[in-house]
Structure 1
Amino acid sequence: MSAIARAGIVAPAGTRTPGRERPQHEFANGSAVVPCTVLVGSPRRQSRTQAVTEQLAQRTCRELSATGLDIEPARLVDVRELSPIALDGQQDEVQAAIAELTRPGLLFIGSPTYLESFSGMLKLLLDLVPRDGLGRTVAVPVMTAADPRHRMAVDRSLAPLLVAMGATVPAPGLSVLVDDMPQLDGLLDTWVEAACSKLAAALRQTC
């Protein structure tokens, strides 16, 4: 299976409403379209982590579109589809995944919480990314957990790693507990409302 397990999980947020024109921002690569990637680091098929991360990406891209940014349909990289990941990272599918992750643009990274940190499968893949490989990336860390004591793991473990890899992380990560799932819609909306302007500013400055 391709390293990009599925394309287009996010509706084309850059699609214009008839009769409504939005200002365009030209990025350093000469494009007015922001690439978007969703990386899921869960070993489980159709996991809670994947669902939360995809839904957050969809809502965030919709709000960013309203600020004048055109966001391309997101591409999904699922580490479960890359197993086993060779330590030398030479397989074509692993190289394709790394190419996706290092594109300038918006990157959502989701992981379940293991031992107060992110998954080992996710770490294996990120270890293969070149130094400062996320230097032109605006990243959104997302983690799911069962224990309320792990709610801060997203900002204590995953966000610092992304910053160390060169990514810009302009907003606090999103942590979703099992007990939060019945109120997920409201939780996502609250996060997007608080983070959207920070993400938009970072994308215009970074990409």
Structure 2
Amino acid sequence: MAKIVGISGSITQPSRTKNLVEVIVNKASQKLHAHAEVIDIAQIATVLGSTVSYNQFPDALAAEYKKLDEADLIVIASPVYKASYTGLLKHFFDLLDPKRLAGKVAILAATGGSDQHALVLDYQLRTLASFFGVYTVPTAIYAKDTEFVNYELTSDAIKQRIDVAVDQAVFLLQQENLQALVA
């Protein structure tokens, strides 16, 4: 059975970004009949922020990294602050061995106040995923604050993009499974 892990890089609660991650993860879970979990950076912010060792993680952080190790599909999402993804999300990835995520598939997503911030997906999150050897789906998902009501995604256009991204992820996962059979 496939496993899906979403990472919400938001440092606040409630969070539009976390809701977006949950919507994507739930859609992918339905499509793949897979187990899904969400890593909420806001929930582990204190322990994450105080961790500086690459070799010794506190139990709470080690449990989150174990989820990533077991994931087939990852959803990486962040709110856009000062034209970038959050510092704690960066720190979360900074602590990972660069080879740890190689070969996994990811859907990238972000939330922000205006369309100008959408470039963070291709110029920062896609670059981050590439550094780790992660295959990213071509369709990224950017949702503006106005596409949420009470922190819940309401935009049909964004939901359609999610459908496209999930279909692309399923395709990439199938290709990866075929290559494993041939090898």
Above 0.5 in TM-score? yes
- After TM superposition, the structure 1 = structure 2 runs for residues 46-195 of structure 1, keeping only pairs within 5 Å, are 46-62=14-30, 64-65=31-32, 70-72=33-35, 74-84=36-46, 85=48, 86-88=51-53, 90-181=57-148, 184-195=154-165
- SS of equivalent residue, structure 1 residue 102: helix
Question: What letter matches 1:141 in structure 2?
Answer: L
Q: As a proportion of its length, which structure holds more helix?
A: 2
In 1: Cα distance, 2:122 partner to 2:176 partner? 21
Residues 38-97 of structure 1: CA deviation (Å, up to 9, x unaligned): 1111110121111111112212332x23xxxx312x112111222232111521111111
Aligned to 1:40: 8
| TM-aligned CA distance change 1:160 to 1:172, over 3 Å | farther
- CA separation of 1:162 and 1:81: change in aligned 2, threshold 3 A: same
Number of aligned residue pairs: give it. 169
Which residues of structure 1 form unaligned runs of 5+?
1-32
Q: Output the CA distance in 1 between the equivalents of 2:131 and 2:142.
A: 20
Q: Distance in 2 between matches of 1:163 and 1:37?
A: 18
Greater Rg over alpha carbons, structure: 1
1:82 alignment partner AA: I
Percent of pairs with identical residues: 20
Q: Distance in 1 between matches of 2:58 and 2:73?
A: 25
- Structure 2 match to 1:22: none
SS at match of 2:13: coil
Give RMSD over aligned pairs.
Answer: 1.9
Name 2:167's counterpart in structure 1. Answer: 197
Deviation of the 1:149 alpha carbon: 1.0
TM-score (norm 1): 0.74
SS of residue paired to 2:95: coil
Alpha-carbon distance, 1:161 to partner: 0.4
Compared CA separation, residues 81 and 104, structure 1 to 2 (3 A)? closer
Q: CA shift at 1:172, angstroms?
A: 2.3
Q: TM-score, normalised by structure 2?
A: 0.83
Contact 2:114–2:144, Cα closer than 8 Å, also in 1: yes
- Residues 113 and 150 of structure 1 are in contact (CA less than 8 Å); yes or no, is this contact kept in structure 2? yes
Q: Secondary structure in 2 aligned to 1:151?
A: helix
